[in-house]
């Protein structure tokens, strides 16, 4: 009886331990499927779902926000990335999602920010915070790249330095995935402000 109880305890313990996740992400790991999202309101008045990008070979999800100085510093880089890789007829789709719920990060403020900066990518709001939690996003900005099968191939920072980057991990991941190759650096530690999850 004691042996059976011990075995049951071990089984239950293993059941509550998550599958092996990333080095810097306790929720998901490379190869995991993309979390589904649907009908997220966008700063442009449209709504966005993962299925909208069904024809894309690569999907980039950026968890970002309005108020974080690091996120703001990367806005121009995300705009440049979108111009280079995610045009209307390209095989790359991109969406930025804000999951913070303070006044600076609500949809009204997002709409104003998107207009001011001339965002050329969808900027959607997930007030439920479910997509951020499903991705294990801990900071803004944090980047997630999914292949055609919508399996995770890269997660982490866009590049190796906020001030003077020498390596762009995001571009390298996208180019490798488009070429059907494995991503050499599949995970890095994202830098930014902590995501403000509700308790």
CATH no. for residue 57? 3.40.30.10
pLDDT digits (tens, 9 = 90+) for 117-137: 999 999 999 999 999 999 999
Report how far apart, in Å, the C-alpha atoms of 112 and of each of 42, 43, 83, 115, 132 are.
Answer: 12, 8, 21, 5, 22
- The pTM assigned to this predicted structure is 0.89
Per-residue confidence at 82, pLDDT binned at 50, 70, 90? very high
Report yes or no on 8 lying in a domain.
no
Of the chain, the end-to-end C-alpha distance in Å amounts to 40
- Mean of the pLDDT values across residues 172-184? 97
Report yes or no on 78 lying in a domain.
yes
Report yes or no on 73 lying in a domain.
yes
**Model confidence at 108: pLDDT above 90:** yes
Q: Which domain holds residue 92?
A: 19-194
Cα 61 to Cα 47: distance, rounded to the nearest angstrom: 15
Per-residue confidence at 112, pLDDT binned at 50, 70, 90? very high
**Model confidence at 10: pLDDT above 80:** no
Cα 175 to Cα 141: distance, rounded to the nearest angstrom: 20
**How many distinct structural domains can be found in the chain?**
1
HSE value, Cβ hemisphere, 13 Å, CA-based, for 143: 32
**Over the chain, what is the mean pLDDT?**
91
């Amino acid at each position: 009886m004691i042996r059976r109880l011990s075995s049951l305890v071990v089984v239950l313990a293993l059941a509550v331990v998550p599958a092996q996740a990333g080095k810097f992400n306790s929720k998901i790991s490379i190869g995991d499927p993309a979390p589904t999202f649907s009908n997220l309101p966008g700063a442009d008045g449209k709504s966005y779902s993962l299925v909208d990008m069904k024809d894309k070979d690569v999907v980039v999800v950026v968890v970002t926000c309005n108020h974080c100085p690091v996120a703001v510093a990367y806005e121009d880089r995300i705009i440049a990335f979108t111009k280079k890789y995610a045009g209307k007829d390209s095989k790359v789709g991109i969406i930025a999602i804000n999951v913070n719920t303070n006044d600076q990060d609500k949809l009204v403020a997002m709409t104003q920010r998107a207009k001011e900066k001339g965002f050329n990518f969808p900027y959607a709001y997930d007030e439920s915070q479910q997509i951020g939690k499903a991705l294990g996003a801990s900071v803004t900005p944090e980047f997630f790249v999914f292949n055609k099968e919508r399996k995770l191939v890269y997660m982490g920072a866009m590049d190796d330095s906020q001030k003077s980057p020498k390596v762009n991990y995001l571009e390298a991941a996208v180019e490798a995935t488009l070429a059907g190759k494995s991503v050499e650096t599949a995970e890095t530690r994202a830098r930014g402000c902590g995501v403000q999850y509700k308790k």
